[in-house]
Amino acid sequence: MAESSERNYIYLSDEEGKNLQLEHLDTFEFEDNEYFICLPTDIDPTDPNYGLLILRQEMGEDGELYLDIPSDEESERVYNAYDEKLYEEWDEEDE
């Protein structure tokens, strides 16, 4: 993951019309899907609900959609794959 001082934000609306601002940290492809790794910007880091949010990108009728991962099984596979990706990048940096 390349370091940059520039932050990248995405703005989403949920199903109830609530607007969300997320800091986009990374994007990666896994099992023919593209996933966005984000952190919420409107939650205090000490809040128990604070943490990485991984959204799956899909194309809808109106363009790109960013969706919650629908199953716990898929979610676990994606989180594990992203952890592995990070460890590989850290190992490469150490070499």
For 65-87, the pLDDT digits (tens) are 888 888 899 999 999 999 999 88
Task: Give 3's pLDDT tier (boundaries 50, 70, 90).
Answer: low
Q: What is the pLDDT of residues 11-33, one digit of tens each?
A: 888 788 888 899 999 999 999 99
Distances (CA, A) of 73 to 2, 39, 53, 80: 29, 21, 16, 11
> How far is Cα 47 from Cα 79, in angstroms, rounded to an integer?
21
The pTM of the full predicted model, rounded to 2 decimals, is 0.76
